[in-house]
Structure 1
């Protein structure tokens, strides 16, 4: 795609799933990649895969709910590669299906801290660098649950609706400053996001994908992480130079149903 070669991207949650696929796709298009994840083993595996394919990547340990940790991630990008051109704020958790009255306060706060505050913290750090250097592009990972309500997922849906609204508002703030801000809204994807919950000890990379809780998809299949990566990298590329403030459903037609 146009405009990525020689540039620098950061990807959060890049140790597995959509984040790993996104980091690898940025590298395939010629970008340097800062691979950010709280999972050091997974993150370093992503770096190894990129380097084995001839790309350039650097791992940074990050907790997106911690502002100082996020600022360190951006500092690493600038110190290592001289700037920051693209960001995919992808890290997130799903703490499982529960009725709204069954969600405890700690669970609610933890999910909002990672899924929504984390996106805000990342953009806050990324935007200052992008504005100083005269432009950039950001893609946030929302969800189909950020576009419609889903019973049993009230906290997750609230966080992802927040990401959609935050994306729109920040896009308007920075539209005249050369920075585009968009989001993707993945449908059912082979990511095992529920296993990424801090309450789960299982390694998400070792578990089979469970489609039992997924609703029907018009295209009659579950997406691959690489399909989300393709949409993300497109939105960062020059091919999307007049697109900002939008959330792109990548959901096999669910949003149209």
Structure 2
């Protein structure tokens, strides 16, 4: 049973990156707390699977195919959520890409641009799309999944570290800019979490946590 202090009944959330990992777990937790959840991900089958699991548990869900590098699909995702559930209260942005281990000299611009586009610019575009709907409800919560690597440097991870540090600052500015409109903005900075993406990179979680 959910503590009444933490209920999300009558709230609507969009979770970006809901197909797997932290995003999927968060979407399920939001639903368990009573929220209606739009499960958005570039991996459409995964988004549908998460939404189906939520609905199996008795909550409402909407699977959305979302490419965060395409601003039009970000805006369409918000519009679809508002149309289905009547508004928007929470946005969690968990979409992320990792750079291959490389020094600044070794990294090519295309690899840099891709990580920036997904991890940072995608967050900006999605937040910009979501804010009007939240403000129309009298406020809302923006949650950006950052990382410990947003505060601590890791060799060979220039693009990833830069984007996660930037998300932390973006949330601070969002909070300052829109507090008067009832908008709260925060980041969560996990360490090494056992997800599919993490296992693809490291194979061994003990090594990942070093």
Shorter-chain TM-score tier:
over 0.9
- How far the C-alpha of 1:214 sits from its partner, in A, is 2.2
Runs of 4+ in 1 over 3 A off after TM superposition: none
**Quick one: distance in 2 between partners of 1:106 and 1:84?**
34
- How far the C-alpha of 1:35 sits from its partner, in A, is 0.1
* Cα separation, partners in 2 of 1:2 and 1:171, compared to 1, 3 Å: same
Report the TM-score when normalising by structure 2.
Answer: 0.93
In the alignment, which residue of structure 2 is the partner of 1:36? Answer: 40
- How far the C-alpha of 1:96 sits from its partner, in A, is 2.4
1:17 counterpart = 2:17: no
**Quick one: distance in 1 between partners of 2:93 and 2:182?**
19
Does the Cα contact within 8 Å between 2:41 and 2:66 map onto a contact in 1?
Answer: yes
1:118 counterpart = 2:122: yes
**Quick one: distance in 2 between partners of 1:212 and 1:127?**
39
| Structural mapping, 1:201-240, within 5 Å | 210-211=204-205, 213-216=207-210
In the alignment, which residue of structure 2 is the partner of 1:247? Answer: none
Unaligned runs of 5+ in 1: 196-203, 217-257
Unaligned runs of 5+ in 2: none
Comparing 90-99 with 60-69, which one deviates more in the overlay? Answer: 90-99
Indicate the RMSD between aligned Cα atoms, in angstroms.
1.7
- How far the C-alpha of 1:46 sits from its partner, in A, is 0.4
1:162 counterpart = 2:166: yes
**Quick one: distance in 2 between partners of 1:64 and 1:213?**
30
Report the TM-score when normalising by structure 1.
Answer: 0.76
- How far the C-alpha of 1:53 sits from its partner, in A, is 1.2
In the alignment, which residue of structure 2 is the partner of 1:225? Answer: none
Bigger RCO of structures 1 and 2 (CA < 8 A, at least 6 apart)? 1
In the alignment, which residue of structure 1 is the partner of 2:107? Answer: 103
